[in-house]
Amino acid sequence: GQNIDQPTEMTATEGAIVQINCTYQTSGFNGLFWYQQHAGEAPTFLSYNVLDGLEEKGRFSSFLSRSKGYSYLLLKELQMKDSASYLCAHRDAGKSTFGDGTTLTVKP
């Protein structure tokens, strides 16, 4: 994706914790989003950060550091259904720019 970097693939074990990192470069900033996309389906919204710090939402948390251009998505107590692609996106003036996505495979 344009000026957004995230790992291509990750593998983790059911019940474990995984952290997916995202770094970005942008001149304007109006929020950092994470979306989940299962194979063959549309992306769905997971989390949003506009200020520095951690946002927690059940098993999912997202962190943002604007000065470092860095975010991560933390998934706890992994389940098989968490196997999906995770897309990092930053928004500037209403337009969202996406990374290429990280394909997470959860193994038993």
Residue 5 near other proteins by CB under 8 A: no
CA torsion angle for 31, 6, 83, 75 (degrees, to 10)?
-60
CB-nearer residue toward other proteins: 3 or 13:
3
Which residue in the set 18, 20, 35, 106 belongs to the binding site for other proteins (CB under 8 A)? 35
CB-nearer residue toward other proteins: 9 or 77:
9
Among 12-20, 41-49, 60-68, 76-84, which window interacts with other proteins (CB under 8 A)? 41-49
| Nearest one of 31, 3, 5, 6 to 18, comparing CA atoms | 6
Residue 48 near other proteins by CB under 8 A: yes
